[in-house]
């Protein structure tokens, strides 16, 4: 629930008269939409993401108790308050509704004032819960997503890519010579630099599902679902240019007299199960990274290798770690450079 947007209330009731009465009771408090059956209510909840649900207990086919059970079993609705509004007055019925996860139980007939007061109370609590959740997933310094949110997003997108055999790209972005920046300008200026860099990255990454997160220190991660290698390289160049366009002076940089970034890109093929690779080169880290335990940590490791290569080649550029689909032999490390 975004405090800048109106709340959304879903009414699920097979009686049109009750829908009209409830809509009038909460008028001006939220955007109201409705469904006249349990199945339609579940579908609408999933498509419209309500902040609160007013639910009738007795409906043909799928009753309110079944609807509540189905919604509360979905993690997406675990924190969405459901208020039963029903003619039932049996305390055992009320107890059953609360046991299923409902937050309140209003017995009809009731006054509009009671409905309005209870709805207002639960919407306010939902807003506070949403804000706490947002704060738990945002890096307080930069406003980008934090490492916890990044790990959760990358894990989700990895599983989705495996199921759909789709592309997934990860870009690690590192501010060049940041220690020297801090030493020369001070830590307060360093914080301002990180905030400006994060804002530039977030302005550049706009597609639904994409994420910019603070990976740690002066390093950021950009998650790009449904993004192939060519588009990942293009995005990396846009990110690099966005930071350069900030024109932040950097007297301590050996690369440019202004703040720049190096970027490491890793992208996966459609068949994740075939990924095996080895790093090569005198300056490269030694050892194999295999997919014996396939997971997003391998994508991070590959992007980290690419970032190392971009730095070794002079910084202020991007390197892409190209995966190999050969499973019978170890594949050499392949880089595609996006140079300055």
CA dihedral 275, 207, 237, 198 (to 10 degrees): -100
Q: Any catalytic annotation for residue 237?
A: no
Evaluate whether 120 touches 29 at the Cβ level (below 8 Å): yes
Rounded CA separation 86/109 (Å): 8
Residue 172 makes CB contacts below 8 A (sequence gap 6+) with 215, 219, 220, 221, 222, 263, 264, 300, 303, 304, 306, 307
* 229-244 and 187-204 helices, crossing angle to 10°: 140
Question: Where are the strands (E) in the chain, listed by range?
Answer: 8-12, 31-35, 52-55, 82-86, 104-107, 168-175, 211-216, 219-225, 261-268, 276-278, 288-290, 318-322, 334-338
Evaluate whether 31 touches 9 at the Cβ level (below 8 Å): yes
Query: Which is catalytic among the residues 210, 218, 219, 229?
Result: 218
Quickly tell me which residue has 């007299």 as its tokens. 257
- In three-state secondary structure terms, 147 is helix
Q: Which residues of 204-241 are buried (b: 16+ CB within 10 A; e: fewer)?
A: bbeeeebbbbbbeebbbbbbbbbbbbeebbebbbebbe
- Preceding peptide of 109 cis, ω within 30°: yes
Tell me the catalytic residues: 218
């Amino acid at each position: 629930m975004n405090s800048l947007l109106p709340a959304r209330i879903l009414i699920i009731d097979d009686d049109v008269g009750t829908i009209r009465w409830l809509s009038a009771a909460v008028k001006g408090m939220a955007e109201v939409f409705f469904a006249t059956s349990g199945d339609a209510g579940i579908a609408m909840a999933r498509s419209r993401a309500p902040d609160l649900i007013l639910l009738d207990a007795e409906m043909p086919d799928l009753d309110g108790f079944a609807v509540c059970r189905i919604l509360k079993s979905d993690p997406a609705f675990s924190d969405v308050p459901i208020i039963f509004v029903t003619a039932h007055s049996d305390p055992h019925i009320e107890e059953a509704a609360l046991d299923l996860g409902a937050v309140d139980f209003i017995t009809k007939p009731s006054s509009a004032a009671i409905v309005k007061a209870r709805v207002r109370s639960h919407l306010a609590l939902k807003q506070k819960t949403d804000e706490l959740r947002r704060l738990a997933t945002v890096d307080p310094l930069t406003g980008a997503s934090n490492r916890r949110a990044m790990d959760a997003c990358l894990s989700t997108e990895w599983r989705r890519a495996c199921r759909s055999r789709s592309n997934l790209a990860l870009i690690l972005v590192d501010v060049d010579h940041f220690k020297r920046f801090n030493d020369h300008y001070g830590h307060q200026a360093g914080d301002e630099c990180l905030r400006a860099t994060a804002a530039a990255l977030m302005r550049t990454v706009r597609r639904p599902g994409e994420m910019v997160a603070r990976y740690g220190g002066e390093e950021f991660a950009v998650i790009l679902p449904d993004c192939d290698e060519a588009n990942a390289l293009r995005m990396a160049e846009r990110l690099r240019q966005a930071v350069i366009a900030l024109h932040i002076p950097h007297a301590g940089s050996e690369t440019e007299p202004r703040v720049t970034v190096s970027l490491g890109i890793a992208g996966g093929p459609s068949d994740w199960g075939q990924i095996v690779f080895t790093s090569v080169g005198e300056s490269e880290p030694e050892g194999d990274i295999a997919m014996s335990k396939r997971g997003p940590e391998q994508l991070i490791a590959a992007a980290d290798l690419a970032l190392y290569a971009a730095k070794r080649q002079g910084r202020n550029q991007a390197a892409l770690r190209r995966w190999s689909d050969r499973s019978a032999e170890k594949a050499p490390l392949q880089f595609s450079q996006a140079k300055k």
